[in-house]
Each structure stands twice: as structure tokens, then as C-alpha cells.
Amino acid sequence: MSTSRRNQDDAPTGRARRQPRSSDVPLQCERAFPCGLTRRELIWQMGGGFVGTALAGLLQADGWSANVARGATSAAPRGPLAPRKPHYEARAQSVIFLMMNGAPSQVDTFDYKPELAKYAGQPLPADKKFINSGNRQMGFLTPAWRPFRPGGQSGLLVSDYFPRVREHADKLCVIRSCHTDSHAHGSALVAMNTGKTLIGRPSLGSWAVYGLGTENQNLPGFVVMLDKRGGPISGQPNWSSGFMSATFQGTLFRPTGNPILNLQGPEYIDRSTQREQLDLLAQLNERHLRERQGGEELAARVNSYELAFRMQSDTPEAVDLTQETETTLAMYGVGTLPTDEFGRNCLIARRLVERGVRFVQLYSGGGHLEETWDAHESIEKNHGRHGLEVDQPIAALLTDLAQRGLLDSTLVVWGGEFGRMPFSEGKDAPGRNHNPYGFSMWFAGAGVKGGTSYGETDEFGFEAVSNKAHLHDIHATILHLLGLDHELLTYFHQGREESLTDVGGRVIRDIVA
């Protein structure tokens, strides 16, 4: 599989160098080495060896050797979204990323810290006050607002904000030692989605589709569903394809009503007429591309027209929840407040991965502050509200995927852009500030060890102290489960091979069964 964008036209041109004959070599240089070669012949062959080494490296990066070893005979992909072979056998075929926009508190959800109750009301120890508090007041250590209870046979501790999810504790692997590079929502969300706090890089979903394509050519490979209260404050860069072709960017589905507006054309244009129009447009665009260098954005636009045409037949069926039974709808909480919206989106996510969509991301929380998981005012009020919205739908998603045999091939990821502090924001203040130093995420399905936890924060849940998992490690592990090597999955841009994890990142192999 080709995972870089090297321009073959950049290869040096000109006549091939003629191999020197012994008659070309001056007498004083004709002394042969034990191998029978003259000095000049030896140097010439060494140069050829260096070229071969470089060629082998390029072929390895393109996955040539792996394909030969497995006897692959398939032709090259027909288009940018056509399915491609992974670097190695994949555990996951699809990913559903449940993004809790605003950052849930780890010490109130999946990282139980009894020391917080023991030292409640005391300040954070002085040796831990190197933090950037964002100009907010540092209060006193505050215990979890709701009790933690063991779930499943594993006894994994989960708080009462997620009682339904706790029933699936044996499916979860909680990574309690996550850390990131920013304490601000906008940049931290961009980092969690793209690997960097800087805007302009491809998102995780874009990398997945770029590397693997998608199984269903009539649906987008990467779908994003936002909260009806609004999108993340950093907006479109969270699902952008960055410096890649726009073909790989996320396609937004609306959270309520018709997921995609204006998908159908006007009634007076039938499908055959529309097909003729697109064919003519494609011919004109192809002529333009033949006569001019570059044109990547135009090619991406052509692909988007074709995808939209194909989506007209498949998308309405994929999001038609009237095909589901009343039992399934009730399990997800569809038609009932406060679970209706997120339950509907979780059910659509299941239907999409069932139909071969590669990457689906769902957002809980929209806009800013208390409309998201950003619990500055009150953990109990905020997490109580948002927990009720998502707990039942997430549990239903795990149940439904398992019952349909999809959980073995679908990786479910839960988390936010960072966590929250173990102390309050002031005296008698029930909220918590941002914490990028230590927080929790969890994985389920696709070969992940269920009923386990990985890594630890300190006794207060403030910072990761063992088996630290940077966001690059999270990304590397997700790509690994998809069968992609995060160091080989690259895109040539502005003179260097870019990757999702850049120069960092390691696969968290301990969580893979």
C-alpha cells in the first residue's frame, strides 16, 4: 500500500552511466582487489548498492514486501476511497469515537481516588503546583461527587454517572494515564483529533481513510455527527483533512432531522440526466487536469461530486431508523428525553459501520461551558445532565455491536480533550478546572483487553505517573488496531514525510489481547 506522496517525476533523468571497462582505467589504478574488481569498479558497484538500499526502503514504506510475502494479486485501488490492504492483519475494521466535548472529570467517572476523601478540604501539595491554572482560582481537594462501584466479573470501578456503561465493564479497557499538550479547549480538541495543537493538519479519521480507504463506496469513509447545541469551539479543523486531499475530510451529518441537507437534486432532473451532467463535467475537468500541473483540489471536487451522486441512493437507507425494531429504538433511548439525540446518533453509527464506513465520530456537548462537559460551575449539575444523555445510548451501542458480531471488528473509543483537576475552583465551589496532566479514556472491542485498566495517576488523580499515555500513543494504538503502522503511514508535504504522530508515539501493546 502506498502511504506517501512521492513525485516520480522528480527522479533524476539523463543517460545511464556506462559501467567502466578495464581499458578505461589508467594503469596506476588497475590493481585489482581480492574480489577481482578494480578500485573504480568496486566504487561503482558500491554506489549501485546504495541505490538498491534506498529502493528497498521505498518499497518497504509502500508495503511492497508485505504484499509479496502474502501473495497479494489485487490490482491497484481504483480511486482514493477504494479499500486498501493494511500494513499487517487488522483487529479493527471500523472506529466509533465518542467525543465528550468539554472534558469529563476522570476522578468522577473512571479513576477512583479514595485519597481525595481522606484529604478533602486541603490544598494540593506544594510540589504539584507547577500547573497552568488558566487564571482560575485553585481551591481544595474534593472527593468524587458520586460513588464508584465495581462492574462485571472484573470488578472494574465505574462511577454512578455511568451505571449502564458499568454493566459493560468487562468490555472496557480504561487508560488512566492519558496526558496532552494544552489546557485550552480549542487547541486541546484539535490536538486530540489531529495530533497537534496547530490548525491545518489531517484528523485521525482522515488518516484512517487515507491509509485504508473505505469498504462502502456509496457512503463517506469518515462521518462526524455534532451535538445540536453546536460544534466544538475550534470547529471544522477537528475533522479536516488538512494538507491532504479534501477527499479524506469528515462528512458532517446533522444531529437531528435529515442528516444531510440538499442531497437530492431538484425534482425536474431525473437520475439519468444528472448522470449525463456529471459525465460531461468530469470530461471537462479531466481535460483541464491534463493540460495543467497540480489540480489536486479539482480532483478532490470531482470525487466529491461522484460520492454525492452515489450517496443519493444509499444514505437515506443507512440513516432510516424506521427499519429498526421498537425494542432496538427503546434500548438506545430514541424517542425519549434526554437520550433521544445521542441515542439516535449512536444507532446511526452502528448502522454506518455495519455498512462499511471506516470512521465515525460522535460529539456529546456543543457550544461552550455548561452546554458541554466543561464543569466549572458544578460537577454534579454538569456531569449529571450529560451523563444521563449518553450513558444509556453508549451501553446500548456496546450491546448492539456485540449481539451483531460487530464488536470484534469495531473499536469504540471514549474520551474528551483532557480531564479535570482533583480540587475545586475556590472555597465551597463544586466545579473543577481543566487538567491536561492526567485523565482517562477507554477502548472497547477489536481485540482490546476488556475488564482492565492501564496506567495510573498519582494518589489525587492530578497527573499521570506510571505507564504514561500521551495523545500520540493513543493515536498510534488506534492506527495499530486498524492494521496501520503509525511510522509508515506518511504523507509527503512541503519537503518532508508527515505522519499523525510526527516524531513521537508508541503503540500501547499491553492493552491488546
Q: Dihedrals φ, ψ of 133, to 5°? A: -90, 0
Give the integer Cα–Cα distance in Å for 238 and 191: 8
Distances (CA, A) of 107 to 38, 43, 47, 390, 476: 72, 65, 60, 18, 25
Give Cα 228 to chain centroid, integer Å.
Answer: 22
Q: What is the dihedral of CA 12, 14, 18, 24, to 10 degrees?
A: -110
- Selection from 90, 83, 95, 94 nearest residue 1 by Cα: 83
Angle 90-165-450 from CA coordinates, rounded to 5°: 40
- Spatial distance between the Cα atoms of 416 and 37, rounded to a whole number of angstroms: 64
The answer to whether 194 touches 203, Cβ cutoff 8 Å, is yes
443 SS3 class: strand
Name residues of the chain where pLDDT drops below 50: 1-30, 61, 63-77
* 500 and 486 Cβ atoms separated by less than 8 Å: yes
φ and ψ at residue 124, rounded to 5 degrees? -65, 135
CA distance 454 to 436: 17
- What are the residue ranges of helices labelled H in 255-295? 271-291
Whole-number pLDDT of residue 330: 98
CATH-assigned architecture of domain 94-207+219-259+319-442+452-470: 3-Layer(aba) Sandwich (3.40)
pLDDT of the residue at 68: 39
pTM: 0.80
pLDDT at site 418? 98
Separation CA 409–CA 356 (nearest Å): 11
- For residue 481 the three cell numbers come to 488496531
Distance in angstroms (rounded) separating the CA atoms of residues 407 and 430: 38
Q: Could you tell me if residue 63 is left (phi over 0), alpha (psi between -120 and 50 degrees) or otherwise beta?
A: left
Q: In this structure, which long-range contacts are made by residues 352-356, counting pairs with CB atoms below 8 Å and at least 24 apart in sequence?
A: 352/219, 352/223, 352/318, 353/93, 353/94, 353/96, 353/406, 353/410, 354/404, 354/406, 355/216, 355/219, 355/314, 355/318, 356/94, 356/214, 356/215, 356/216, 356/219
Domain boundaries along the sequence of the chain:
8-69, 94-207+219-259+319-442+452-470, 266-314
Whole-Å CA distances, 511 to 71, 312, 424, 455:
31, 40, 32, 10
Cell digits for 379?
460537577
- CA neighbor of 383 nearest in space, from 179, 102, 169: 102
Exposure string for 471-509, b = 16+ CB within 10 A, e = fewer: bbbbbbbbbbbbbbbbbbbbbeeeeebbbbbeeebebbe
Handedness of CA 468, 473, 475, 481 (dihedral sign): negative
Give the pLDDT confidence of 357-396 residue by residue, as tens digits. 999 999 999 988 899 999 999 999 999 999 999 999 999 9
